[in-house]
Structure 1
Amino acid sequence: MENGVHYRTCHLCEAMCGVAIEVNNGKITSIKGDDQDPLSQGHICPKAVALQDLHEDRERLKKPIRKTAQGWEELSWEDAFDLVAEKLHGIRKTYGRNSIGVYLGNPNVHNHGALMTTMPFLRAIGTQNRFSATSNDQLPHMLASLEMFGHQILFPIPDIDHTDLFICIGGNPMASNGSLMTVPDIRGRLKALRQRGGKLVVIDPRRTETARLADDFHFIRPGTDAFLLMAMVHTLFEENLVDPGAAERLVKDVDLLRLAALSFSPEAVTRHTGIEAEAIRQLARQLAKTPRAALYTRMGTSTQAFGGTTTWLAYCLNILTGKLDIPGGVLFTQPAVDLVALGAMSGQRGHFGKRHSRVRGLPEFAGEYPASTMADEMLTPGEGQVRAFVTVAGNPVLSSPNGQRLESALEGLDFMVSVDYYLNETTRHADVILPPTAALERSHYDLIFSQFAVRNVAKYSEALFPAADDARHDWQILLELAHRLEQQRKGGRLPLRSEMGWRAFKKLGPDPILDLLLRTGPYGADAGPVRPFAQTAIELVMDILPERNPLKGLARLSPLNRRWDELPKGLSLSALKAAPHGIDLGPLQPALPERLFTRDGLIQMAPRRYLADVERMQATLESAPADGLLLIGRRHVRSNNSWMHNSQRLVKGKGRCTLLIHPDDASKRALNPGDHAEVSVQGRYVVIPVEITEDIMPGVVSIPHGWGHHRSGTGQSVASSHAGVSINDLLDDALVDPVSGTSVLNGQAVDVRVWQPEPQQKQA
């Protein structure tokens, strides 16, 4: 690697910040923000400097290892691939294809190579027992997008750079840099919002880092956001404030929504939400009467008992008040690689409930079962029991509910393999670990988060450091395993054409495919002087072919389609390599009705699965609010789930894994600053330092997500020395949102008391 400054996109969270990495004699000497990046404009968060730590971590695995009676031992890639393929094929042949389970972790969506090779890998395994972090995270947003707009990743994104009112419910973009809203430098953008006379409103059970910047803040009881939003819908109809504006001719079944909201007046929901009726009415009025406004919800509203219905209602409120598809409201992106249109063209808009899990009958979403039922499928005997398990860049022991039960399930497997470069709380249970290259050793393009950015951009990063000769990228690992499993399934040989296809794919890798997608997308090649003739041919194809013909889909997406005439052209991989800071493709623009993928071309305002859930809401409304303390998670800007705690510079300083509790609740339990509390539920418990603060709502306690590194047998010494506790060791994996199948990570009831050490612990 040449000495000097190299420009790259940080891959550690959703924000896609540009970084300037200085290298001298093969070593990183500084990491700073890239002032010329069109999206982040010089901003970085503390995580960016940990790119160096992750790359240089001596505990990062670099060669395959297998578990033996004497401990872990290295083996060659060839032997590792042979062993894994043989074991998986043998289990599949003996017990059936569903005897193998697969879990995909969040880092996969930050990696275009892994994304492109996941599907052939999954097809080669052939199992229906697929799981991912989706059902512990954003599934309600994907379901609402599928039900209302016809596509699972067609998300309405707040146009935060042009809005005058930003209502944030259950989200903390100051810590996350946005989530399903790729927004670097949220502090600067919120400052600009106020400088133009705008307003920030935050609603949360905790006064978060974002809430501290708010003009208005309201505490809300965990799990009651659906009642708040339904009361706001009620107010809009009651006060004749409904006006879908630009989307009016596209909305369907608005009257059904009005009927659903009839009994949810602000007065009726106050007891449950903790928000006064007049404050709820004022929120609805503000949203309706501010021409450029956006309502945004995120993790706190998604991962709760009413997560699916809450997200649907948030979408409805933006639509009912005319904020959909207008500048300053919520808009759909037009990325360079349009995964929404490409998916629709191939018939992959998404699906829900096509089949149900074996043990608990939970619905699949996009081919995946809820992560909360992974342990059930491993522990319950019978046909289809998971006996072998594959994890790819995931640590579900710390990120899924009831991690201790999942640990027990993993221990009982016949075989487990992990594609991961850390020996962590999950991979320690594997028989074989296949470590991919580090992120700085491979190229990078954000296929997913470009779909959610607050501004359309395209950025490509070449590998900063060469991979070792004996290293494998994750896409190479997945393709090699898929190839060998296909060979095993076919008796050791594949047809010549199939064999040549696999070899070509493995030789080319993801970047030529990325180049093709860029060139044929809306910002792609310009045909020059023959452009008018090419456009006429495109129009003929679109007129002649049936609606669902793939060629018509390609023609619609082509840069020669007159629909894209106003967009910049000439985008390709070589163009991005020549623009190391990235290319600005412009602000978000209105895109309806062309962007809808519903069968009738209309926005479905009252999908039946949400209307059916109103009965459950009504029953909850008529019951008394739950007694005791309700548990919520939280996130810190120096952390992202469980995998960045082996960086000393990210974990140093004051301990962040603490129990936040309100002074009134602490006093009732005789808890004082510096004490340790025992937090328990149904016999499960953790012991955690107490932090008493008025920033948490009375009746609520908070433990951060992603900790719990006290487990033995891991290979992360820094993380182990800052172990913390796992909130997921407390959470009940039997609790899911029945509408979406999402894990209930917020709002479960817990007991809290002063921790009393055992006598021998006192002596120690």
Structure 2
Amino acid sequence: MTHTHCPYCSLQCGMRLERRGRAALEVQAWPEFPVNEGALCRKGWTAAGLRGSRERLTSPLVRDRASGELRAASWDEALDLVAARLTALRGQHGPDSVAVFGGGGLTNEKAYQLGKLARVALGTSQIDYNGRWCMSSAASAANQAFGIDRGLPFPLADVEGSDVLVLVGSNLAETMPPAARHLDRLRERGGRVVVVDPRRTATAQRADTFLQPVPGTDLALALGLLHLVVARGGVDEEYVAARTTGFDVVRRTVAAWWPERVERVTGVPASELRALADLLVGAAKVTVLTARGAEQHAQGTDTVLAWINLALALGMPGRESAGYGCLTGQGNGQGGREHGQKADQLPGYRMIDDPAAREHVARVWGVPADSLPGAGRSAYELLDSLGTDDGARALLVFGSNIVVSAPNATHVTRRLEALDLLVVADLVMSETAAMADVVLPVTQWAEETGTMTNLEGRVVLRERAVAPPDGVWSDLEVMAGLASRLGSPVAFSTDAEEVFSELGRASAGGRADYAGITYDRIREEHGVFWPCPSAGHPGTPRLFAESFVTPDGRARCVSVEHRGPAEVPCDDYPVHLTTGRVLAQYQSGAQTRRIRVLPDDGPFVELHPMLADRIGAHDGDLVVVVTRRGELKAPARVVSTIRPDTVFVPFHWVGANRLTNDALDPSSRMPEFKVCAAAVRT
């Protein structure tokens, strides 16, 4: 029996794995793990479905130059080929001719080692990861407001004690079902749940109050709510004076957002806005949680800052069962960016342009600080530059299915085609792996040991339950094999616990300090919350009780203004398109679409009966969604739970992100996945 964690979302639900026969695994409940208390969603219960699958990759594949087909190769042949071609490109075009793209599902050890591989063995600044498309806007906002980015600055269960919980752009009941029990418990004790979403989702159906704004207007809604809180005398003036700076400017900014103006922008009736403001002002404990619906916008950072301003005005951050938090999406979206996958960061959430940070990490790595490259391009900008005169000519991909998940995906696919070399490490032949020159088969979660950091900042340990298939290597072994062939000045360990120990030393003193966390502590304590700077430190489940992580200990209230989406409807594209997830699938679907017991009906287009009547569509008919970047044909689902001016497409299949806009948030560099102008026809 092995105690481990689900391979999917950021809850990192605890589970037990029991071996059945030589290779099969059975998922069982682990009731003692506090995050999910034994509960799992259908994805978790079926997570072992890829074990023994015919679609698992078990041999390196190399594209034959004569036939253009992928053929089986030995590990030595594949890695020798990759190293030789990378060495030649670096010699001819410089180290930045090679780029690395990681994933928010990689363990902390892999994320750390991937950043080290890029900066030490390859010497490139060109590294980023798909977590940039997860909660980067919330991260940017939290850093500005609080001085630190940890998705939830408190355990998730704390929300049960709130009087009012506001979920902005979160369909928690479908994206992380075991967490929905907290909503039910909150309501059972008399609390109120508020959901803000353009669709009446399964989460909205469990809410006491539901607001249905036009996509891309959550910022205006937050400004209007704060306007009313100020007007009703609901600002906690003592808290604001003692624990924040900048609120006077924010107060003046929101004065212009009276309810009727907000209604014109958002479509939310002024009466509903006033009722929610009264609810917030009258509550002793308010928690605001944002998710991708509010964050995946070209103004996502400002949107989150506006909701943080509301929480600060009410005096909530740092109080028990109150405050602001972000519901991280990917399994290791939190830890994945803390330790070096992001273009501008080093381990411990240190910034790469900070001389002291460079000196510290370089000392741990055993290299000169001036040998480390500077900041590179963000995820989409990196992909957009591939194959161009000043872009990378080779790309190494670990744990990401770019062809499905990138915005403006047709354009990104063309950039991948322009590369001299594409190398993909994956479990299965994903859509991105199918384009590669070299495909490297790697272990999945049950076949390896490593840590993850969940949405609460709780570092948990996935334990190896079974040996990988013959011919499959771990990502750490792949990185070590490449590093040695590239002539790395330092060795790369393949032992996960050794790598984690090194990660702890590299993170010591940083904002995300893991120095006091060990595998044994995680096992004994069911996870350890960072920051945890020493072995004797208890970890930090709750932040901000006494001060924020800013030079003066005060939170920053940042004045923001609503600009609206980068694209608005017009005669040619008269409706809003938004995207999201469905219960049975996860991310690009590379894993879940291959588990037979999970429903896989393919993409669909959700639209309101009024819109369906206007275009002459019926439920089940094929309709075509068109944007300035591409089109998608899929069956219509005619429902009354979506706005009449909006259509919804899930992004787990090829097609949805061919439509989405690549406009970027100026701070977080988050693409505007959640809204663009579209047309729908039969």
- TM beyond 0.5: yes
Residue type of the partner of 2:139?
M
Q: CA deviation at 1:513?
A: 4.7
1:51 aligns with 47
Structure-2 separation of matches of 1:620 and 1:26 = 54
Residue type of the partner of 2:556?
Q
1:15 aligns with 11
2:658 aligns with 729
1:741 aligns with 669
**Deviation sequence 1:159-184 (CA, Å, 0-9, x none):** 3132121111111111221xxxxxx6
Does residue 640 of structure 1 match 2:633? no
Structure-1 separation of matches of 2:206 and 2:562 = 37
Secondary structure of the corresponding residue to residue 201 of structure 1: strand
Q: CA deviation at 1:439?
A: 1.5
How has the CA–CA distance of structure 1 residues 350 and 329 changed in structure 2, closer, same or farther, with 3 Å as cutoff? farther
Does residue 506 of structure 1 match 2:493? yes
Secondary structure of the corresponding residue to residue 235 of structure 1: helix
Structure-1 separation of matches of 2:408 and 2:136 = 19
**Deviation sequence 1:497-543 (CA, Å, 0-9, x none):** x4xxx1xx425x2213546878x99xxxxxxxxxxxxxxxxxxxxxx
Does residue 666 of structure 1 match 2:612? yes
Contact kept in structure 2, 1:136 and 1:303, CA below 8 Å? yes
Secondary structure of the corresponding residue to residue 314 of structure 1: helix
1:703 aligns with 649
How has the CA–CA distance of structure 1 residues 513 and 475 changed in structure 2, closer, same or farther, with 3 Å as cutoff? closer
Unaligned runs of 5+ in 2: 327-331, 356-373, 530-537
Secondary structure of the corresponding residue to residue 111 of structure 2: helix
Q: CA deviation at 1:125?
A: 2.2
Q: CA deviation at 1:666?
A: 0.5
Contact kept in structure 1, 2:572 and 2:679, CA below 8 Å? no
Contact kept in structure 1, 2:109 and 2:499, CA below 8 Å? no
How has the CA–CA distance of structure 1 residues 663 and 730 changed in structure 2, closer, same or farther, with 3 Å as cutoff? same
Unaligned runs of 5+ in 1: 178-183, 355-365, 488-493, 522-549, 560-570, 709-725, 755-764
Contact kept in structure 2, 1:331 and 1:589, CA below 8 Å? no
Structure-2 separation of matches of 1:412 and 1:62 = 27
1:369 aligns with 377
1:531 aligns with none
Residue type of the partner of 2:77?
D
Secondary structure of the corresponding residue to residue 404 of structure 2: helix
Q: CA deviation at 1:204?
A: 0.6
Contact kept in structure 2, 1:325 and 1:332, CA below 8 Å? no
2:224 to 218, 228, 231: 231
Contact kept in structure 2, 1:193 and 1:199, CA below 8 Å? yes
Structure-1 separation of matches of 2:510 and 2:631 = 54
Does residue 142 of structure 1 match 2:139? yes
**Deviation sequence 1:607-666 (CA, Å, 0-9, x none):** xxx64xx27469999x9999721001121121111122433435436x252111000011
2:295 aligns with 302
Structure-1 separation of matches of 2:253 and 2:667 = 16
Contact kept in structure 1, 2:618 and 2:638, CA below 8 Å? yes
1:465 aligns with 466
Does residue 316 of structure 1 match 2:245? no
**Deviation sequence 1:690-715 (CA, Å, 0-9, x none):** 0100011110000001202xxxxxxx
2:475 aligns with 474
Contact kept in structure 2, 1:246 and 1:324, CA below 8 Å? no
Structure-1 separation of matches of 2:522 and 2:562 = 52
1:545 aligns with none
1:171 aligns with 170
Structure-1 separation of matches of 2:337 and 2:153 = 12
Secondary structure of the corresponding residue to residue 631 of structure 2: strand
Q: CA deviation at 1:245?
A: 5.9
1:528 aligns with none
Residue type of the partner of 1:170?
G
Residue type of the partner of 1:162?
G
**Deviation sequence 1:226-261 (CA, Å, 0-9, x none):** 100011121222222111665652201111111221
Contact kept in structure 1, 2:113 and 2:499, CA below 8 Å? no
Residue type of the partner of 1:604?
R
TM-score, normalised via structure 1 length = 0.76
Q: CA deviation at 1:418?
A: 1.1
Does residue 399 of structure 1 match 2:392? no
**Deviation sequence 1:329-352 (CA, Å, 0-9, x none):** 13789x9x9999999997844489
Does residue 388 of structure 1 match 2:388? no
1:530-541 equivalence runs, <5 A: none
Secondary structure of the corresponding residue to residue 161 of structure 1: helix
Secondary structure of the corresponding residue to residue 142 of structure 1: helix
How has the CA–CA distance of structure 1 residues 404 and 134 changed in structure 2, closer, same or farther, with 3 Å as cutoff? same
Secondary structure of the corresponding residue to residue 493 of structure 2: helix
| Aligned length in residues | 639
Structure-1 separation of matches of 2:40 and 2:622 = 35
Secondary structure of the corresponding residue to residue 688 of structure 1: strand
Secondary structure of the corresponding residue to residue 8 of structure 2: coil
1:428 to 430, 434, 439: 434
1:538 aligns with none
How has the CA–CA distance of structure 1 residues 590 and 99 changed in structure 2, closer, same or farther, with 3 Å as cutoff? closer
Residue type of the partner of 2:291?
R
Larger Rg belongs to: 1
Structure-2 separation of matches of 1:225 and 1:352 = 33
Does residue 205 of structure 1 match 2:204? no
**Deviation sequence 1:199-248 (CA, Å, 0-9, x none):** 11111110111011111112110001110001112122222211166565
Structure-1 separation of matches of 2:59 and 2:319 = 51
Contact kept in structure 2, 1:64 and 1:432, CA below 8 Å? yes
Contact kept in structure 2, 1:161 and 1:189, CA below 8 Å? yes
Of 309-318 and 471-480, more deviation after overlay is shown by 471-480
How has the CA–CA distance of structure 1 residues 627 and 225 changed in structure 2, closer, same or farther, with 3 Å as cutoff? farther
Residue type of the partner of 2:145?
M
Contact kept in structure 2, 1:679 and 1:687, CA below 8 Å? yes
Q: CA deviation at 1:441?
A: 1.0
Structure-1 separation of matches of 2:631 and 2:354 = 34
Secondary structure of the corresponding residue to residue 695 of structure 1: coil
TM-score, normalised via structure 2 length = 0.85
How has the CA–CA distance of structure 1 residues 296 and 64 changed in structure 2, closer, same or farther, with 3 Å as cutoff? same
Structure-1 separation of matches of 2:267 and 2:524 = 55
Structure-2 separation of matches of 1:277 and 1:322 = 24
Structure-2 separation of matches of 1:390 and 1:600 = 42
- Indicate the RMSD between aligned Cα atoms, in angstroms: 3.5
